[in-house]
Amino acid sequence: WTRACKFLGIEDLHFHDLRHEGVSRLFEMDWDIPRVASVSGHRDWNSMRRYTHLRGRGDAYAGWPWLEVVLKAPVILGARATK
């Protein structure tokens, strides 16, 4: 994660920020609390609410020109050890 952020020139982004962003997007797509919690791992609404800041409704990726590219990209699972 650290090397990827450095390579891309991204400063002050933490892996946990993705959880926050993901929870917000799922609520914007009209997912209900139990369904979001099943993905996010939150055990109760109070803890999930701290990470949820809604900006609007609907699918934030609708019409995004890179969506097809991302969905068709190969996924390589596992870590590679470098020496």
Residue 81 domain-assigned (yes or no): no
On the question of pLDDT at 60 being above 80, the answer is: no
Confidence of residue 51 (pLDDT cuts 50, 70, 90): low
Residue 36 domain-assigned (yes or no): yes
Give residue-wise pLDDT tens across range 63-74. 878 778 877 888
* Identity at 83, one-letter amino acid code: K
Residue 52 domain-assigned (yes or no): yes
Domain that holds residue 22: 15-72
Residue 23 domain-assigned (yes or no): yes
Torsion sign over Cα 52, 53, 59, 61: negative
Can you give the length of the chain in residues?
83
Domain count, the chain: 1
Residue 33 domain-assigned (yes or no): yes
Give residue-wise pLDDT tens across range 13-43. 887 788 888 888 888 888 888 888 888 888 8
Quote the tokens at residue 13: 């982004």
Residue 50 domain-assigned (yes or no): yes
